[in-house]
């Protein structure tokens, strides 16, 4: 471990981490330009570098891009990646009331703490956690998806029924195209271009960004701005103190992100909404969530960045990538002649621990950079909406097209955004629709694969037996019961208030 630390503290490694952080910040701040895309673009540069420095650079980009996607989510309500969706729930309302700088600082600090927890977990607990990851098969991932759907009760707005309907609609949107398991075309209407389905990032941009642009245009106020900004000294220090005054949410969210991150295929898109849901569930001020509660931003960013470190557990411990960017890092290792697996910790321990220390160092660099940039970035909201609306629309179009260079994604993003705009006018909240788009590609393949397993075994054994299944089912039942109890309690309180 000390050899790995000294490897990371070498000037070449520190410079590589800094370059990776700067590149990751640029990539993450542009909607649609994901960490996967950034690591893939940076990969050729690592061929001429020593493997430790190449990994350090990729780790820095990976960590920084996970934070940087919070910038457009907080400032203009564009979640550039699925994990930033939960950050936008409270980050954008904070910007609207003049606390955009605070939202970015909170994101930066929470991301650093989450990176610490995920990085040190990868460093110390890879062995035991790889055994946990191996216990998850299709039935377990199906129940994880169902458990994640209970989040709809916390983000559904005023109507739980409309929230459930919105979530199901989002999942239905996710079924467009050729199925991942049976190669069956669904809802393509005979159009070959629809066989590729809707990209998740393009779908989320349509759900959140386009309705915001249409709202700006509908108001027709040429001088109005998205939010206000007032330079206040000591915002960064005050924000960090406020977050540390309630440390339970910060560390609980980091642990949730780490545990979800070790599950191959789950990662930050699942971890962030789950942590947000738990933060709201255990908060004494539930009504503040969705209206600019800083603890919502803390939960989402801490979990999303902790999942980045957690994803390295199966990647290097088993050779199974825990996320899409981790798959690129795995490819980099293989190209450098390093074979991930249980023996890697014995054959090249300095390399593994050096990479873990690089992730931790990237978290520190990212926090410093984010805090320094927060004030300048927050000033963007002072731009009049007549100028900001076209910029947001341009970023939305560019981000949706850049993911797969597909005009189909672009048109589907615009169509979905217009539809969600009108649905919001009749009481549907965009968040459940976005959650359904994220979870649909996770739940459906897991269900189909589990049913295939059930052909050889009793279906009750496949879905309802086993310690992992029983635990997740119990958590799901408890979550639904808690939501029903709190909704009923709030209903009674509203009835008790005199007119």
**Secondary structure element (H or E) that encloses residue 239, with its range:** helix 235-244
For residues 73 and 77, give the distance between their C-alpha atoms in angstroms, rounded to a whole number.
Answer: 4
Q: Which of 1, 278, 269 is nearest to 122 (CA)?
A: 1
**pLDDT value, residue 254:** 92
Contact 111, 78 (CB under 8 A): no
Taking the mean position of all CA atoms in its chain, how far away is CA 134?
23
Residue 225: strand pairing partners = 384
Q: What is the DSSP letter of 183?
A: -
**pLDDT value, residue 227:** 60
**pLDDT value, residue 157:** 63
Contact 223, 384 (CB under 8 A): yes
pTM of the entire predicted model: 0.80
The label of the residue with tokens 């007549």 reads 386
Is 258 part of any domain?
Answer: yes
**pLDDT value, residue 217:** 78
Is 324 part of any domain?
Answer: yes
Is 300 part of any domain?
Answer: yes
The list of the chain residues with pLDDT below 70 reads 31-37, 80, 127, 129-131, 133, 153-154, 157-158, 219-232, 264-266, 321-324, 342, 487, 489-499
**pLDDT value, residue 419:** 92
Is 498 part of any domain?
Answer: no
Q: How many domains are there within the chain?
A: 1
pLDDT digits (tens, 9 = 90+) for 156-201: 766 778 888 888 898 888 888 887 777 778 888 878 878 888 888 7
Q: Residue 440's domain spans which residues?
A: 2-491
Is 126 part of any domain?
Answer: yes
Is 496 part of any domain?
Answer: no
The label of the residue with tokens 């893939």 reads 40
* 3-state SS class at 384: strand
Is 241 part of any domain?
Answer: yes
Is 497 part of any domain?
Answer: no
Max CA separation in the chain (angstroms): 72
**pLDDT value, residue 228:** 62
For 364-389, b/e burial (b = at least 16 CB within 10 A) is ebbbebbbebbbebbebbeeebeebb
Instruction: Classify residue 47 as exposed, middle or buried by CB count within 10 Å of its CB (0-12, 13-18, 19+).
Output: exposed
């Amino acid at each position: 471990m000390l050899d790995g630390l000294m490897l990371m503290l070498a000037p070449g490694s520190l410079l590589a981490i800094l370059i990776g952080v700067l590149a990751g910040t640029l990539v993450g701040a542009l909607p649609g330009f994901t960490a996967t895309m950034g690591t893939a673009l940076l990969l050729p540069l690592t061929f001429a570098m020593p493997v430790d420095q190449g990994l350090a650079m990729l780790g820095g980009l990976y960590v920084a891009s996970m934070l940087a996607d919070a910038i457009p989510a907080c400032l203009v309500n564009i979640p550039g990646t699925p994990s930033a969706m939960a950050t936008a729930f409270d980050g954008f309302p904070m910007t609207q009331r003049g606390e955009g700088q605070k939202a970015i600082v909170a994101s930066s600090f929470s991301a650093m703490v989450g990176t610490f927890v995920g990085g040190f977990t990868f460093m110390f607990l890879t062995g035991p956690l790889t055994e946990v990851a191996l216990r998850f098969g299709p039935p377990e991932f199906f129940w994880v998806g169902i458990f994640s759907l209970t989040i709809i009760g916390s983000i559904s707005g005023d109507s739980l029924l409309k929230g459930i309907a919105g979530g199901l609609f989002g999942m239905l949107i996710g079924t467009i195209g050729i199925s991942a398991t049976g190669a069956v075309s669904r809802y393509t209407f005979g159009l070959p271009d629809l066989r590729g389905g809707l990209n998740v990032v393009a779908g989320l941009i349509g759900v959140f960004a386009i309705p915001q642009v249409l709202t700006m245009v509908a108001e027709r106020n040429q001088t109005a701005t998205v939010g206000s900004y007032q330079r206040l000294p000591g915002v960064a220090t005050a924000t960090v103190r406020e977050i540390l005054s309630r440390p339970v949410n910060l560390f609980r969210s980091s642990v949730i992100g780490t545990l979800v991150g070790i599950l191959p295929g789950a990662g930050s898109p699942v971890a962030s909404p789950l942590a947000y849901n738990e933060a709201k569930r255990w908060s004494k001020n539930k009504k503040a969530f969705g209206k600019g509660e800083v603890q919502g931003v803390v939960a989402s960013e801490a979990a999303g960045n902790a999942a980045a470190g957690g994803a390295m557990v199966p990647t290097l411990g088993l050779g199974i990538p825990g996320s899409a960017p981790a798959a690129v890092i795995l490819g980099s290792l293989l190209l450098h002649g390093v074979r991930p697996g249980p023996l890697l910790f014995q054959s090249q321990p300095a390399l593994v621990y050096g990479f873990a220390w690089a992730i931790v160092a990237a978290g520190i660099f990212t926090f410093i950079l984010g805090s320094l940039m927060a004030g300048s970035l927050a000033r963007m909201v002072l731009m009049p909406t007549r100028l900001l609306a076209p910029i947001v629309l341009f970023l939305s179009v560019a981000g949706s097209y850049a993911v797969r260079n597909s005009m189909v994604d672009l048109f589907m993003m615009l169509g979905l955004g217009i539809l969600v705009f009108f649905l919001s006018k009749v009481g549907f909240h965009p968040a459940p629709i976005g959650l359904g788009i994220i979870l649909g590609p996770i739940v459906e393949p897991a269900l189909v694969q589990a049913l295939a397993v059930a052909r050889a075994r009793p279906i009750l054994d496949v879905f309802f037996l086993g310690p992992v299944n029983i635990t997740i089912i119990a958590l799901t039942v408890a979550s639904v019961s808690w939501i029903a109890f709190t909704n009923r309690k709030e209903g009674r309180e509203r009835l008790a208030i005199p007119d």
